Amino acid sequence: MILISDNLYTYLILAVFLLIAGIYGLVQHKTFIGMLVSTELILNGAGINFMAFNRFLAPDPAIGQIITLFIMGIAAAEAAIVVSFIIAVFRKYHSIDPDDVMELKG
Protein backbone atom coordinates (compact mmCIF):
# COMPACT_ATOMS: atom_id res chain seq x y z
CA MET A 1 0.00 0.00 0.00
CA ILE A 2 1.30 3.42 -0.98
CA LEU A 3 1.28 5.98 1.80
CA ILE A 4 0.02 9.39 0.74
CA SER A 5 2.55 11.14 2.93
CA ASP A 6 5.36 9.18 1.26
CA ASN A 7 4.68 10.19 -2.31
CA LEU A 8 6.41 12.90 -4.34
CA TYR A 9 3.23 13.98 -6.13
CA THR A 10 1.44 14.85 -2.88
CA TYR A 11 4.06 17.42 -2.01
CA LEU A 12 4.28 18.81 -5.54
CA ILE A 13 0.50 19.33 -5.65
CA LEU A 14 0.63 20.97 -2.22
CA ALA A 15 3.32 23.34 -3.50
CA VAL A 16 1.20 24.13 -6.56
CA PHE A 17 -1.72 24.88 -4.25
CA LEU A 18 0.39 27.34 -2.25
CA LEU A 19 1.61 28.96 -5.47
CA ILE A 20 -1.86 29.49 -6.92
CA ALA A 21 -3.16 30.75 -3.56
CA GLY A 22 -0.30 33.24 -3.56
CA ILE A 23 -0.97 34.36 -7.15
CA TYR A 24 -4.69 34.73 -6.43
CA GLY A 25 -4.00 36.79 -3.32
CA LEU A 26 -1.38 38.89 -5.10
CA VAL A 27 -3.89 39.96 -7.75
CA GLN A 28 -6.88 40.21 -5.43
CA HIS A 29 -5.51 42.09 -2.42
CA LYS A 30 -5.74 45.83 -2.41
CA THR A 31 -3.08 46.66 0.16
CA PHE A 32 0.72 46.46 0.18
CA ILE A 33 0.74 44.17 3.22
CA GLY A 34 -1.79 41.81 1.63
CA MET A 35 0.41 41.52 -1.44
CA LEU A 36 3.48 40.90 0.71
CA VAL A 37 1.67 38.15 2.63
CA SER A 38 0.72 36.47 -0.66
CA THR A 39 4.37 36.61 -1.72
CA GLU A 40 5.28 34.73 1.45
CA LEU A 41 2.83 31.98 0.44
CA ILE A 42 4.54 31.69 -2.97
CA LEU A 43 7.98 31.49 -1.35
CA ASN A 44 6.75 28.72 0.98
CA GLY A 45 5.48 26.80 -2.03
CA ALA A 46 8.98 27.02 -3.49
CA GLY A 47 10.41 25.79 -0.19
CA ILE A 48 8.11 22.74 -0.11
CA ASN A 49 9.10 21.96 -3.69
CA PHE A 50 12.81 22.04 -2.89
CA MET A 51 12.33 19.91 0.23
CA ALA A 52 10.26 17.36 -1.68
CA PHE A 53 12.86 16.94 -4.42
CA ASN A 54 15.49 16.83 -1.72
CA ARG A 55 13.70 14.02 0.10
CA PHE A 56 12.80 11.85 -2.90
CA LEU A 57 15.26 12.54 -5.72
CA ALA A 58 18.46 14.30 -4.63
CA PRO A 59 21.67 12.38 -3.92
CA ASP A 60 22.64 14.55 -0.94
CA PRO A 61 19.80 15.69 1.39
CA ALA A 62 21.78 18.70 2.61
CA ILE A 63 21.40 20.65 -0.64
CA GLY A 64 17.64 21.12 -0.56
CA GLN A 65 17.67 22.08 3.11
CA ILE A 66 20.33 24.70 2.43
CA ILE A 67 18.32 26.17 -0.46
CA THR A 68 15.20 26.25 1.74
CA LEU A 69 17.14 28.03 4.49
CA PHE A 70 18.35 30.48 1.85
CA ILE A 71 14.75 31.12 0.78
CA MET A 72 13.84 31.77 4.42
CA GLY A 73 16.66 34.30 4.72
CA ILE A 74 15.56 36.05 1.51
CA ALA A 75 11.96 36.11 2.73
CA ALA A 76 12.95 37.64 6.07
CA ALA A 77 15.08 40.30 4.36
CA GLU A 78 12.28 41.02 1.88
CA ALA A 79 9.69 41.37 4.64
CA ALA A 80 11.90 43.82 6.56
CA ILE A 81 12.57 45.93 3.44
CA VAL A 82 8.95 45.97 2.29
CA VAL A 83 7.59 46.85 5.74
CA SER A 84 9.99 49.78 6.05
CA PHE A 85 9.00 50.82 2.53
CA ILE A 86 5.33 50.67 3.54
CA ILE A 87 6.07 52.82 6.59
CA ALA A 88 7.86 55.39 4.42
CA VAL A 89 5.00 55.40 1.89
CA PHE A 90 2.41 55.68 4.64
CA ARG A 91 4.24 58.66 6.11
CA LYS A 92 4.35 60.42 2.73
CA TYR A 93 0.92 59.54 1.29
CA HIS A 94 -1.08 58.58 4.42
CA SER A 95 -2.41 55.53 2.57
CA ILE A 96 -1.58 51.85 2.23
CA ASP A 97 -3.46 51.48 -1.04
CA PRO A 98 -1.08 50.79 -3.97
CA ASP A 99 -3.41 52.73 -6.29
CA ASP A 100 -2.83 55.94 -4.33
CA VAL A 101 0.93 55.86 -4.83
CA MET A 102 1.19 57.25 -8.31
CA GLU A 103 4.17 59.60 -8.50
CA LEU A 104 7.67 58.35 -9.21
CA LYS A 105 9.81 61.30 -8.21
CA GLY A 106 13.02 61.40 -6.25
Partner 1 sequence: MTFYQYIAEGLFFVFVLLIMAGSFITIRARILMHTVLGLAVALLGVAGIYFYLGSMFLTLMQILIYVGAVCIVLIFGIMVGSTPTEIAEKTIKDRKNIFLAVSAAAAAFFLLMISILKTEWIAAAAQVRDFSAEHLGESFLYQYCLAFELISVILLIAIVGAIILAREGRGQDDKNPWAAPTQGPAHVKELTSVTENKGDPLA
Chain residues 65-94 in contact with partner 1, contact rule CB under 8 A: 65-70, 72-88, 90-92
SS3 state at 106:
coil
Q: How far is the CB of 100 from partner 1 (least distance, A)?
A: 10
C-alpha to C-alpha distance for 50 and 35, rounded to whole angstroms: 23
Site string for partner 1, 4-43 (x = CB under 8 A): xx--xx-xxxx-xxxxxxxxxx-xxxxx-xx-xxx-xx--
- The 10 Å Cβ neighbour count of residue 97 is 11
Q: Are 82 and 73 in contact (CB under 8 A)?
A: no
- Does 46 interact with partner 1 (rule: CB under 8 A)? no
Q: How far is the CB of 103 from partner 1 (least distance, A)?
A: 14
